[in-house]
Amino acid sequence: MNIKNLMIPFTLWNKNKKTNLYLSDYPLFYYKNTNAQQNNLKYCVRILFWAGMVGHGTNYKEAFLNLQETFELYKTNNEYLPKPWEKKELEFASDEQILKYESFAADFFDKILGMDFYNGFFSDESCLDLFYCDYDDDKKKKIEQDIVNKVKATYGVDIQKVYNLPLPELFEFIIDNRDS
């Protein structure tokens, strides 16, 4: 079966629709991820031409339901919904604010987190909890306390009350309050 031949009637039919779009208006691609190490990532359903709009699950039905939830969340939080025939590139969150603190961020990542700031992408919305989300609550609390203690020892600032701020705001707090 040739996907190209299926797409032409599909897109012509949908171009005439002027009303609200639903997941059923989009061409979907079902596939099995043979490299998945987690069972809940083995089955996938994605919208063709829309990078990142994918649902995963332990079976196709679960993957479809997860895609539907993601699609509805996108619709709720965005003014523009791509048309089914449009190619939607992957978008990254802004890193404009965090790059204002680039030299401090590089120092912080090295001294506090033991990481190289330049070996990853960190957005303006990144926060310390995202680095340790796979751990249980007890382990997270210990890691948080270790980071708070390292920041106090390194920069002379107690970040306990602002630990959950996005990194740019956390960096600004540390810079504004550190020992001179």
Segment 92-129, tens digit of pLDDT: 678 889 999 999 999 999 999 999 999 988 888 898 98
Q: Is the pLDDT of residue 3 over 70?
A: no
Q: What are 108-114's contacts with CB under 8 Å, separation 24+?
A: 108/171, 108/174, 111/150, 111/154, 112/147, 112/150, 112/151, 112/154, 113/147
Percent of the chain with pLDDT over 70: 85
- For residue 38, name the pLDDT band (cuts at 50, 70, 90): confident
Higher-confidence residue: 140 or 89? Answer: 140
Predicted confidence (pLDDT) at residue 81 exceeds the cutoff of 80? yes
Rounded distance between C-alpha atoms, residue 72 and residue 63, angstroms? 14
Closest by CA to 28, choosing from 59, 6, 5, is 6
Distance (Å, whole) CA 119 – CA 132: 17
Contact criterion met (CB below 8 Å) for 127 and 169: no
**Both structure tokens of 118:** 């330049």
- Mean pLDDT within 80-84: 84
- Token readout for 95 is 């890193």
**Which range scores top for mean pLDDT: 80-84, 92-96, 147-151?**
147-151
Average pLDDT over every residue of 154-175: 95
Contacts of 97 (CB under 8 A, 6+ apart): 124, 166, 168
Nearest-angstrom CA–CA distance, 114 and 54: 33
Residue 18 has pLDDT above 60, yes or no: no
- Asked if pLDDT for residue 7 goes beyond 70, the answer is no
Percent of the chain with pLDDT strictly greater than 90:
49
By C-alpha distance, which of 174, 45, 25, 30 is closest to 104?
174
pLDDT at 10 over 60: no
Please state the rounded mean pLDDT for residues 33-42: 85
